[in-house]
Every structure is written in structure tokens, then in C-alpha cells.
Amino acid sequence: MIRVQSLNRTFKVGDEAVHALRELNLDIDSGEYIAIMGPSGSGKSTLLNVLGLLDRPDSGKYLLDGIDTVTLPEDNRAAVRRTHIGFVFQSFHLIPRLTAAENIALPMMLAGTDPGLRRKRVQAILESLGLEDRAHHRPDQLSGGQRQRVAIARATVMKPTLLLADEPTGNLDIHSGEEVMTTLEALNKGGITLLVVTHDPDIAARARRHIHMVDGAVVEDRKT
């Protein structure tokens, strides 16, 4: 599903060039559950951004579902993001003035989906997450775990094939973190490919494949 070959990404920090990704190769099959670990600055977030089409590599190949994404024009990349990829962020990134239901419906609204269909899908996803009674609450009226689960609902409402989560439990207590991980894993069981970037070994241990990065390269790739 994902085929990455000799990916390079360099940032300029002052006069110095920092190699966030260095000749990185990676293959990911559909439905995998992967934890990406590594110290700060090892390039794991950059990898996630490149895989999520938010960032463009300087060189290398990245095929997503057979689409060569590196040469794709920006607007087409946005379209691929919309249909193929869901993001879950550490800081949730919910829009504060919209209710939970409106936040979940946002990707469909941007895509121009019919309002009737939007309501139906939001309703279904709220029910599956047990958040029906929170539908009309704004983010500041939700707990951290609920916020992240609303964010997950938003990330999956377009039925993407790839779900990218950057430290999804980083801002949560253990109990809420557990809740969020269970939600993500349930989605993975449903067939979605799940990539989680994390510092937390307990969270990482739940995945079926572990990728360890140092200095922009994969130093360990282990399946359990």
C-alpha cells in the first residue's frame, strides 16, 4: 500500500543543513498497525508529515495506493489527503467555535458532501464512539479523551485507508489514553492502516510492527 524508496528531506536551520530523513526505505501493507519510535529530532514526525502528504521530500519515491505522490501538483495532493489519509494530532486541533458534530463533519463540508449524507455519517460515527450525547458540545465542554475521540471521528469520517497519529495520547492521562488507543485499534481491526508516532513504550508495545528511527534513518524494523 505504501512504498517509500530512498527518501531524503533536509531542513536548513541557520547555516546548518539538518537531515530529517536520510535515504529512507519503507514498505507498508494495507491494514498494518505500526508504532514509530525514536528520540526527539530523529525524523519520525517528518516521516509522518511526508507520508501524510503535508510535506514534500527533497528526493526519493513515495507511492501511496499506487499513486506517485512526489510529482503530484499541490491541489491533487490535497485531494489525496482528503480521500486517503486521516490525521490525529497530539493537540487535537478541533475548531473551538464548532460543536463536536460540526467538527466531525468538517472534512465532508470541505469536500462539498450533501448535508443529509453528512448528518447521517456523523450520527453513525458518534454512535459507534458512544459520543451521541456530546454531539452539540463545543470542544471546551469536552474532556481531553472525548476531544481526541472527536478528532479521531473527524479523521475517519471520509473513510480513509491510512490513519496517521502523532503522539495521540501525549496530552492525555492514562485512562483517557487507553480509551483513545482502544478506539484507534478498533478502527485498525476494521481494516484501516494505522501509524502511531509515540515516545511511550507502553503505547508502542501494543502495535504489531515497531519501527525505530535515529537520525533520519530506520535502525530497527520488527514485527511481533
Partner 1 sequence: MRFDDILTFTGKTLSSARKRTWLMLLAMSIGVGSVVILTALGEGARRYVTQEFSNLGTHLLIVLPGRVETSGGHPPLIGGTPRDLTLNDAMALGRSSSIRLVAPVILGSAPVSYRQLERDITVLGSTAELLPVRKLELGQGRFLPAGDPSRESAVTVIGSKLKKELFGGKSALGKWVRIHDRRFRIIGVLKPSGQSLGMDLGDVAIVPVASAQSLFDTQTLFRILIQANGREAIPRAEKSIIEIISERHDGDEDVTVVTQNALLSTFDGIFRSLTYAVAGIAAVSLGVAGILIMNVMLVSISQRTAEIGLLKALGSPSGQILRLFLVEAGMLSAAGAFIGILIALAGVWALDRAFPAFPLSVPVWALAAAVAVALSTGLLFGVLPARRAAELDPVRALSGK
**Residues near partner 1 (CB under 8 A):** 49, 52, 54-55, 74-75, 78-83, 87, 89, 93, 95-98, 106-107, 109-112, 115, 154, 158
Q: For residues 160 and 177, which CB has a smaller minimum distance to partner 1 in the complex?
A: 160
Query: Is the separation of the CB atoms in 149 and 129 below 8 Å?
Result: yes
Q: What is the DSSP string of 92-137?
A: ----TTS-HHHHHHHHHHHHT--HHHHHHHHHHHHHHHT-GGGTT-
Amino acid at 218: V
Task: Compute the least distance from the CB of residue 45 to partner 1, in Å.
Answer: 9
Q: For residues 1 and 79, which CB has a smaller minimum distance to partner 1 in the complex?
A: 79
Q: For residues 84 and 134, which CB has a smaller minimum distance to partner 1 in the complex?
A: 84
For residue 222, the number of C-alpha atoms closer than 13 Å in the C-beta half-sphere is 10
Number of separate helices (H) and strands (E) present in the chain: 7, 10
For residue 142, the number of C-alpha atoms closer than 13 Å in the C-beta half-sphere is 29
Task: Compute the least distance from the CB of residue 152 to partner 1, in Å.
Answer: 13
Task: Compute the least distance from the CB of residue 106 to partner 1, in Å.
Answer: 6
Q: For residues 82 and 208, which CB has a smaller minimum distance to partner 1 in the complex?
A: 82
Task: Compute the least distance from the CB of residue 97 to partner 1, in Å.
Answer: 4
Task: Compute the least distance from the CB of residue 118 to partner 1, in Å.
Answer: 9
Amino acid at 223: K
Eight-class DSSP state of 141: G
Q: For residues 140 and 222, which CB has a smaller minimum distance to partner 1 in the complex?
A: 140
